A and B are shown apart, each in its own frame.
Chain A
């Protein structure tokens, strides 16, 4: 039996990143879950990401 199946035989403790609906679904099924307050860097805004990248140079 693969190790992944071993994992699912145990009580799962889940850390959810990203869409909150995944967290809500697990919570509804009484799975122990915490939702991480996470967002993509600069909200995924390409212009802001480019500006931040320019300031990250080590020059």
Chain B
């Protein structure tokens, strides 16, 4: 079986269900398919909120669909067309379960890709792992998607909140003298993930935290929390808030003339929904961790991936707003999947899809910031674990410092 080319095997008949050679998976020996894959197609399932409160994220699904249309127009992946089936789950966990069961049991997709949201993904987490169908590159930053031992069929993509929180803590310890830290946190899973990561990053210096103020997502404002935090005399502010509250916090800090070193989570890295509503002058100097390029930033205007992305948007999504970050995200994550499928070769089994997804080494997906790479292994199910610190300057981000990583084994 050594040195046999794909064509030999084809001629020799597909009955040679050769054992995969560990370590050289790209040279798949013979064709092997699970449900959803054939000589001509690969069926991929997805569910996301096209209706309801979270429907702004529906554009991620639409972008993925358009990217696959582009891929198919260019001949597909290894000669196979992608059949992308996406359903509306309205961000409702039971509806996600139903749609995903339809995808797996009726439509018989090879795997699920980029299903959106922490609660919907939580609802299908166990089902996918029982059925042994990959739940690949889910669109949520929760830290629980990287547990290859307990959940070998589930993998995240973006830097998780714990990682990001730890990176801020390390940055504070390294750059600020005698830090006294005030934290504003949304009181839910997402907020706690960030907070736990931050505590991990501080290590034995937890006492640097002067105060932890929390708010509920239903609160009208965070004004009183901001005044409390200012009164502690903190010189560092870690702002764990979603866009609406991030804008409020930035604005309030400016109004009460509290000028700490301001760290804002990546969740709120938007000019449209955070910095402009808060006021550009109030936002100057706010620091945050980024991992993707802002395609509207002049410094990346001639980067090949940005040029390609803009061409894609113009041809396949001309009626959508290129400033909407969900397109950027969808484009980048879909290209990561395309890389995985290319490496799968003709062995389109669920097992091989997971194996290839877990052996990405230094992959630079389009639109990632220079120097940020995707690394995974059989024990590392966190593809992106590096970020670049940046600060708001004028109406764009100014990068500073090195790439910061919290890469796990």
Q: Do A and B share a complex?
A: no
Task: List the interface of chain A (C-beta within 8 A of B).
Answer: none
Task: List the interface of chain B (C-beta within 8 A of A).
Answer: none
